[in-house]
Amino acid sequence: MELKEYQQKTLDALKNFLTEAKVIGCAEAFAKHRDAPSYPREYSPLPSLDDAPYICLRLPTGGGKTLLGACSIRVAATALGKDYPLVLWLVPSDVIRQQTLKLLRDPTKFYRQELDAKFKGQVNVFDVTEFRQLRPQDLEQSLNIFVATFQSFRVEDRDGRKVYQSNEFLEPCFRNISRQDYFKDDATGGWKSFGNLIAYLRPLIIVDEAHNNSTKLSLKVMQDLRPSAVIEFTATPDENNSNILYQVSAQELKAEAMIKLPIILRESLSWEAAIDEAVQKRTALETLANREAEYIRPIVLFQAENRNGEANVEAVKKYLIDGAKVPANQIAVATGERRELDGVNLSARDCPIRYVITVQALKEGWDCPFAYVFCSLAKVHSSTAAEQFLGRVLRMPNVTPRSAPALNKAYAFAVVNEWHKAAAKLRDNLVDMGFEKEEAKYAIQQTLIYKDEDNRNKSLSALYDENFAPAQDKSPSARGVKFEIPMLCLDFGDRIEVAERLAFLPTKWRLTGKYDTALPNFRRDVEAQVYEFDVAGHKVTEKYIGDGAANLFHGETNWTHAELIGWFADR
């Protein structure tokens, strides 16, 4: 596996900075090699640790931060002149901790292969609770990576107190180490603890999702650990505390097929209509996916309302089964009480699941590139939850562009009270996910497609203005179009004649009575609004496509003939 171009450029920037920081100092090296024009230019060192390089690498969601974290260990070890550094890999939660451990321990993953190649297979990956397994020879002959949360080193937390408790299993590691002024004593006065050992060895610290740990308390934790260098990875840096050395744009991720873009957003006024649209889109995508060389089974993520809401989990599942005619075995519910995804391999060919219903964001670390469609059925949701859901549908399966253009896009369906509300929120969510430079918030370009007086498509680009609307189209009669209706004819093979009622209808034929005109399960948003979100350079672009009527049927649907006739009647 080869690194993507933007990944290699990121590592090159890190290498150049770390190499020169040893010679000319961190501040001067930062000023010389910094390539992050959206962020502050001044370098801010860790308190009392001016000699420790402290920088942040900014990558949008889906950029492969864990992979770059593993590769940065190789780069930092060489630049810092350490054969086998002790690495402390800090993550924001226990779920991410378990996921990171699994990736770094798996010899079939590129993460681990990268480390084994550099350190000749002498690599140990520990959970922070496994520090008792550390041996003196490991410190001299192996790369040792400890994966932990910040809470593990906060003295006021229970886990933090364990880390700073003197432990007899670590006695051999302290054999040639004398007591230092910066050591922390435990309640009994002992000082041979894992926390003190790390501080003495001056670890390389990797911080995943650094924006979650930018508080003064987190900075105090890093200061106590006396790192030799700190490398942060995040999509949304805290520019007040982090030194952003290098930034990657979403355009670069798109060019490397790391993420699905653009995002097609469709707004609906009813949750039932949103479900219908999401089901149709997924069905159409699976038809296209069946023609691809690699196996893909597109999945819809439904964000339902809480138990008291109309579009709650049970209502959504019932409508999927009864209204959209989805087989029950294709639906999974993932909530606090129901964990129907636990132990399920969604990428397996024999897995039937195509629809996942949840309320809050799926658990951290949940990753399934088959997720193509996000459908939010609640009219009010937190921005954080929306960002997490969007992140689930952006990753490209196997980081490979597809032959069908529709499979290179992501799709979002949202229920709104007013038009344009979901579009504005989605744009803000993308910004919060690191998909736009900070100053671009004030320069969003929106492209509107409209008809001129000769019924020709025209486009108008302008800075974003929520009150802007294009001129209304003239009606056909105002344009002088003659209203004509074709006559119904019958083809008799050798001749065509104008149809007469008596020629093809029985004398007692009636439309009412024999044919049921009620369509209890049919709902259609004939005025649904459709938007396309993409990236151009460092900016998020937004294009209004229209009401979507021309592209209403994406492929095979589960509609009956009566429901189709009902739709035509509405038009």
The answer on pLDDT for 73 being more than 90 is yes
pLDDT in tens, 465-483: 445 555 667 778 888 888 8
What is the model's pLDDT at position 343?
84
- Give the Cα separation of 232 and 251 in Å (integer): 21
Question: What is the strand order of the sheet 263-268 is part of?
Answer: 331-333, 355-358, 299-303, 371-376, 410-415, 263-268, 529-536, 539-546, 445-451, 457-463
- Give percent of the chain with pLDDT exceeding 70: 74
- H-run or E-run covering 488: none
What is the token pair recorded at 51?
A: 């000699």
What is the model's pLDDT at position 445?
35
- Give the Cα separation of 21 and 19 in Å (integer): 6
Please give the torsion angle defined by the CA atoms of residues 113, 115, 121 and 123, in that order, rounded to the nearest 10 degrees: -130
Beta carbons within 10 angstroms of residue 331's beta carbon? 20
pLDDT in tens, 416-459: 765 456 666 666 667 666 666 443 333 233 334 445 667 665 54
Mean pLDDT rounded to a whole number for the chain: 80
**Least confident interval from 194-198, 222-226, 363-367, 414-418:** 363-367
pLDDT in tens, 300-317: 999 898 888 899 999 999
pLDDT in tens, 96-139: 898 899 999 999 988 899 999 999 999 999 999 999 999 999 99
**Least confident interval from 20-24, 352-356, 357-361, 368-372:** 357-361
Most confident of 394-408, 463-477, 521-535: 394-408
Largest CA distance in the chain: 109
What is the model's pLDDT at position 90?
92
The answer on pLDDT for 85 being more than 90 is yes
Segments in 265-305 forming alpha helices (H): 271-289
The answer on pLDDT for 340 being more than 80 is yes
- Give the Cα separation of 566 and 276 in Å (integer): 15
The arithmetic mean of pLDDT across residues 344-360, rounded, is: 90
- Give the Cα separation of 152 and 156 in Å (integer): 10
Name the residue with higher pLDDT: 535 or 104: 104
Q: How confident is the model at residue 206 (pLDDT cuts 50, 70, 90)?
A: very high
- Give the Cα separation of 386 and 388 in Å (integer): 5
What is the model's pLDDT at position 479?
82
Name the pairing type of β-strands 299-303 and 371-376: parallel
Q: How confident is the model at residue 158 (pLDDT cuts 50, 70, 90)?
A: low
The arithmetic mean of pLDDT across residues 243-248, rounded, is: 92
Name the residue with higher pLDDT: 413 or 366: 413
Do residues 289 and 558 touch, judged by C-beta distance below 8 A? no
The answer on pLDDT for 463 being more than 60 is no
The arithmetic mean of pLDDT across residues 252-257, rounded, is: 84
What is the model's pLDDT at position 362?
60
What is the model's pLDDT at position 61?
79
Q: How far apart, in Å, are the Cα atoms of 56 and each of 85, 146, 150, 319, 359?
A: 20, 20, 17, 46, 33
Beta carbons within 10 angstroms of residue 341's beta carbon? 18
Q: How confident is the model at residue 36 (pLDDT cuts 50, 70, 90)?
A: confident
DSSP 334: B
The answer on pLDDT for 42 being more than 50 is yes
Q: How confident is the model at residue 498 (pLDDT cuts 50, 70, 90)?
A: confident
